[in-house]
Amino acid sequence: MFFDPNGKAEGLAHNPMKALVAPRPIGWISSVSPTGTANLAPYSFFNLIADRPFMMMFATSGHKDSFFNVVATGEFVWNLVSHDLLEAMNRSAANVDANVDEFELAGVTKAPSETVNVPRVAEAKAALECKVDQFIPLKSDTEGRHNTMVIATVTRAFIQDDLIRNGRFDNQSARAVSRLGYMDYAVIDTVFELDRPD
Ligand X SMILES: Cc1cc2nc3c(=O)[nH]c(=O)nc-3n(C[C@H](O)[C@H](O)[C@H](O)COP(=O)(O)O)c2cc1C
Q: Which is nearer to ligand X, 24 or 156 (CB)?
A: 24
Please tell me the distance from the alpha carbon of residue 78 to that of residue 19, in angstroms, as a whole number: 23
Q: Which residues contact 17 (CB under 8 A, 6 or more apart)?
A: 5, 9, 181
Q: Which stretch binds ligand X (CB under 6 A): 34-42, 111-119, 136-144, 154-162?
A: 34-42
In 3-state terms, what secondary structure has residue 173? Answer: helix
In 3-state terms, what secondary structure has residue 19? Answer: helix
Least CB distance from residue 38 to ligand X, whole Å?
Answer: 10
Residues 37-56 that bind ligand X (CB under 6 A): 39, 41-45
Residues 123-142 that bind ligand X (CB under 6 A): none
Least CB distance from residue 56 to ligand X, whole Å?
Answer: 13
Burial class (CB in 10 A: 0-12, 13-18, 19+), 144: exposed
Among 30, 60, 79, 82, binds ligand X (CB under 6 A): 60
The residue count for binding ligand X (CB under 6 A) is: 17
Please tell me the distance from the alpha carbon of residue 189 to that of residue 198, in angstroms, as a whole number: 29
Q: Which is nearer to ligand X, 34 or 114 (CB)?
A: 34
Does 187 bind ligand X (CB under 6 A)? Our answer is: no
Does 65 bind ligand X (CB under 6 A)? Our answer is: yes
H/E element, 147: strand 147-159
Which residues form the interface with ligand X (CB under 6 A)?
26, 39, 41-45, 59-61, 64-66, 90, 93, 95, 179
